[in-house]
A and B are shown apart, each in its own frame.
Chain A
Amino acid sequence: MSTYKVKRRDFLKITGLSGASAALAACDMPTTITLEEGEEDVVSYLMPEEYVIPGIGVWYASTCRQCDAACGIIGRVREGRVLKLEGNPQSPINQGALCQIGQAALQVHYNPDRLKQPKIRQGGRLIDASWDEAFDVLKSHIGPDSGIDGSRIAWLSGTVSGHQRVLMDAVSEALGGAGHYAHEILNDTVVDKVNAEVYGSTNIQYKIAEAQVVLSIGADFLSTWGSPVHNSVQYGKFRDAPRGVLIQAEPRMTVTGGSADLWLPVRPGAEGALAMTIAAELVASHGADAKTLPQAVADQLGQYDLASAEEQTGVAADLIEKAADFLATRGPSLVIAGGTAAAHEHGYEAVTAAAMLNVLLGNVGKTIIPVADFPYSALAPKKGDTAQLAAFAKKARAGDISVALITGTNPVYTAPEQLDMVGALNAVKVKIAFAEFIDETSAMADVILPLCSDLESWGTHVASYQTTDAIISLQQPLMEPLYAQTRSLGDVLLAIMKLHNAEQYGPFADYYGYLRNVIAAVPAVAKEGLGDEAYWQAGLQKGMLTVAASAIVSAPLVEAADDAAGNEEAKEMVDNVASEDSFTFALPVYEKDKDFPLRLVPSASSRLGDGRFANLPWLQEAPDAITKIVWNSWVEMHPATALHYGIKQGDIVRVSGEDGSVEAQVYLHKGINKDAIAVPMGQGHTEYGRYASGRGVNPLKMVAVETDSHSGEIALCATRVTVENTGRNEELVKMGGSESQVGRKLVGTITADQLRRV
């Protein structure tokens, strides 16, 4: 018999328990038994923490932070770990559902590449530091004794709302007027501008479930546009009897396009012409009254007809005729525009032309409900766009920014090469990043303060899309922080405020204390008879606080239009309303470009988004909805275009524009306009962890900096390109071998006529 004795501690190591205990210790569990040598702790569940029943999962409500739709989530917590996220059935936004990006928030939280330790740049390299050391550096630059001129400090963030925004604004003010530049490459600036002008509000509720026919021009509303999960819930009801008809017009098929009854392959940039052709057809064949339209628009209707439609838009005349017929005969209708339709030099006109269809069809106030702005403007989202980023870059390059405070945005990755973000950031003396990961932007920082994950943080949020009543979404931590040297963004902001205004902010022990205090200040009328504590507890359980019912606002243009027919005075009003803000309306006429005949569509997906989800393995391995390709980049082309250029499936091609080029494999399908080339956003990272970096290409880099003529927002789909074969070919890594059903009934399809006979 062996005399070797396995010590209990070794035994635990061998069986793997010590790993588990280390992990659990990180969860800060209260009751621990120390082993013989006193180095490792094992948690005893004889005396579990309050609310913890070993083996039983408990669900807590919070708010999803993966995008700005602010869906309610519930997270299953077991033994101090969050294991699964689901949609909160009580949330009026997502009503219990959750998209794949929301599901994958767990992999942000548990990501192996998360920052665990603050970093300070020394001798050109980022060196690990303690939180206090890093915060001292921050203090030396933006503390009360730093002596810096506040106008030389700038926030560079993503879209931010709620009390994080309140504190950011407070920091700006305390610093003496620091600027705040918010950047999101995928934004609705153009749509917001049109909505404000046509409907009287940037907050529009699209009542998809109440429509019988929906025409969406460029807006992938089921997957990437607006509040996708909310829209999808509505879409489910829209398909109930009597079944609604979905028409989708876009250059490259999206998830929404894949579900359309009628998919219109509009040429990139011709979305406005398509809307105008449909309007002309409604007036010519269906008795729609052009008098309801502003003169500037009505005057141009004559230029559009079915005969020239295919030449102008790339969509066959009979399909446009059909679309107009559905809109005229199957009401109530709803026209949505955005996404790729807005991403052109004339994006504003295209979205306006689509809005005019709603005016013409009498949808405003029925399926399009403009509602008042969020009642607490300080909490309303500060929405990001590219115009603000360009302004930041300009100021930085001029040497007018000494300190940049960067969080929640990655412009070094998302901004086109032409904007030269690297150059702009190099011109900023001190860059302080608050980040969960080292991405392309935080890699340039001088100090990085690592943030807690969204599942470890407190927060309040106001959705960028007010789908229902005005609500404040509550984000509560679903577990203790994994890493001791991380803080939530709210806590960091509060700590900065304590430096500047100890009297006012000093009493709050932490961000939770601050939030709890400000919620107590919500007027009693909003609390509907609940006491303060009851209001707060109810809010925590539901994951949100309802502050007010949405007030419906009247649309100036439509109000006037209602009386316009046959009434000259009212007609003048329509034109006056529309002519405010120098309402001009000039849509381009299609001309083929000889050198660069194709247009690049950097396509967005609910997989990798604008690249921020590329570090999540579930989403990398989730096949793209249309091409079914995984883990890589690709180029989508129409087979007829490919034939013209001598390109086959799987060929590696070079897509070149004046500002750069990318190389990727070709996937051919007939769900793309012949003049379009689509390359998905999201890959081509040089940083951002093991799952993202060094994989595929980033089409955003080669986007030409053309801007929408009215809003100044970047026109993402305006880049003209050409394509050439490199002569190499590889097998596509995608799900499924067969592109067709080969005659088997896998997906059965019946016509709507058959359905109506049931």
Chain B
Amino acid sequence: MSLENILKDWSKYRRGHEEGGHHDYEHMWGMAIDLDKCTGCNACSVACYAENNLAVVGEEKFSKGQAMHWLRIERYWDEPDLGENRVNEYQIHGASFLPMNCQQCNAATCEPVCPVAATYHTPDGLNAQVYNRCIGSRYCSNNCPYRLRYFNFFSYYEDSWPEPLQMQLNPDISVRDKGVMEKCTFCVQRIRKAKDDAAREQRDVLDGDIKTACQQSCATQAIVFGDLLDEDSVVSKVWKKHEVALGKASQNKANPDKRGYRVLEGLNTDPCIMFLERVREV
């Protein structure tokens, strides 16, 4: 991959929503997460550890921000402190939970800054990370507004999987070594398998063929995954129902009470994960 080629084929690696580039993709994998159903139970996150060979780094490295949780549940308080007049003494509306995994942006801010094109857009609309190509410049994670890229500061394969824990490792994907960036892949190995199965059976990939590990574990079915280019897929229908569309920096909704939104959409990153707002009665 020479610089010359990168510049020449730039549009192939980064097709922004400006040109509506995603319309000629094969698939556009997307997600919808209903924050009114998410209970913050963390099952999705541990399912991700199990599926994707995520390293456990331990307390000390965690304190330095080196945890590898591709999918993390963030928790926010309405008003964390007592406040001057102590009006709201208690969190009477509960907490706010936000499952955050790579937003698979269409206009990904991480992609153009990679000096070696290790992160690029696949014809599936995935924001992919090529581990073998990564040189560990960490520009991408620096440029990710969501802080969802995770760098291997160390080789974890001995410390994280002492004998015989390594026998649990998923052979469908690699264990990443020191100096490599990694992040949520939308369970690309499951996508791969579904595509292979479909090809073998000479059919298209059907909605529901692919369940990401996080979606699979979710008891409240807060997570929906599928192809946004398939108009009949559940995920497309949810996006449509809540009047959220790709290729926009802000949504002009006919009905402002519809719950769909994308996190930090105004940054023009065009994420493929849509959230449905949390609802509170009082």
Contact = CB atoms under 8 A, between A and B. Distances in A.
A394 interface: no
Contacts of B165: 107, 110-112, 617
Nearest to A627: B75
A303 interface: no
Interface in B35-73: 35-37, 39-43, 45-47, 49-51, 56-59, 62-63, 67, 69, 72-73
Interface stretch (A127-135, A143-151, A253-261, A543-551): A253-261
Chain A interface residue bracket vs B: 35 or more
A81 interface: yes
Interface string A90-127: 00001111111011101101111000000000000000
B167 A99 contact: no
A750 B279 contact: yes
B50 A106 contact: yes
B63 A746 contact: no
Interface string B234-247: 00000000000000
A81 B167 contact: yes
B59 A733 contact: yes
A520 interface: no
A94 B277 contact: no
B139 interface: no
B279 A98 contact: no
A625 B42 contact: yes
B41 A223 contact: yes
Given A100-B42, A253-B95, A749 B59 contact: no
Interface stretch (A227-235, A269-277, A367-375): A227-235
Given A235-B39, A257-B95, 16 more contacts: A100-B42, A102-B43, A107-B165, A112-B164, A222-B39, A233-B220, A235-B37, A258-B39, A259-B95, A625-B40, A626-B95, A628-B75, A671-B94, A736-B74, A740-B77, A748-B277
18 contacts: A97-B216, A97-B217, A98-B43, A99-B43, A222-B41, A232-B219, A259-B94, A261-B280, A263-B94, A606-B42, A632-B59, A639-B82, A640-B86, A670-B82, A735-B74, A740-B80, A747-B76, A758-B259
A749 B280 contact: yes
B101 to A, nearest CB: 14
Interface string B165-177: 1011111000000
Interface in A726-758: 731, 733, 735-736, 738-741, 744-752, 754-755, 757-758
A746 B76 contact: yes
A78 interface: yes
A176 B43 CA distance: 46
Contacts of B43: 97-100, 102-103
Contacts of A103: 43, 46-47, 49-50, 217
B11 interface: no
B63 A733 contact: yes
A622 interface: yes
A654 to B, nearest CB: 22
A324 interface: no
Contacts of B73: 623, 625
Contacts of A631: 58-59, 62
A630 B91 contact: no
B255 A751 contact: no
Contacts of A628: 75
A643 B94 CA distance: 22
Contact of A243 (B93, B160, B171, B279): B279
B92 interface: yes
A669 B89 CA distance: 10
Of B58, B88, B95, which is in contact with the most chain A CB atoms at under 10 Å from its CB? B95
Interface in B239-282: 255, 257-259, 261, 263-264, 275, 277-282
A741 B40 contact: no
B282 A262 contact: yes
B261 A752 contact: no
Given A83-B170, A235-B39, A261-B280, A669 B80 contact: yes
A472 to B, nearest CB: 23
Given A23-B164, A106-B168, A640-B86, A622 B42 contact: yes
Given A747-B76, A752-B281, A233 B219 contact: yes
B239 to A, nearest CB: 15
Interface string A61-104: 00000000000000000110111111100000011111110111
Interface string B206-238: 000000010011111110000000000000000
Contact of A99 (B59, B213, B219, B282): B219
Given A248-B94, A643-B82, A671-B90, A754 B257 contact: yes
Interface in A317-340: 319, 322, 326
Contact of A749 (B75, B170, B278): B278
B70 to A, nearest CB: 13
Contacts of A98: 43, 47, 217, 219
B50 to A, nearest CB: 5
Contacts of A97: 43, 216-219
A263 B160 CA distance: 39
A618 B97 CA distance: 20
Given A606-B41, A746-B263, A261 B74 contact: no
A236 B89 contact: no
B37 A239 contact: yes
A10 B86 CA distance: 72
B219 A229 contact: yes
A111 B218 CA distance: 25
Contact of A751 (B69, B86, B279): B279
Contact of B76 (A236, A262, A739, A757): A739
Interface in A545-595: none
Contacts of A167: none
Contacts of B201: none
Nearest to A695: B59
A327 B25 CA distance: 51
A621 B67 contact: yes
Nearest to A96: B216
Of B88, B222, B259, which is in contact with the most chain A CB atoms at under 10 Å from its CB? B259
A489 to B, nearest CB: 21
Contacts of A235: 37, 39, 219-220
A748 B80 CA distance: 17
A86 B281 contact: no
A260 B94 contact: yes
A43 to B, nearest CB: 14
A265 interface: yes
A255 B73 CA distance: 12
B264 A744 contact: yes
Contacts of A253: 91, 94-95
Shortest 4 CB-CB contacts between residues of A and residues of B: A236-B220, A232-B219, A97-B219, A631-B59
Contacts of A83: 168-171
Of A83, A85, A243, which is in contact with the most chain B CB atoms at under 10 Å from its CB? A83
B24 interface: no
A293 interface: no
Contacts of A102: 43
Nearest to A81: B167
A748 B82 contact: no
B9 interface: no
A319 B220 CA distance: 27
Nearest to B76: A741
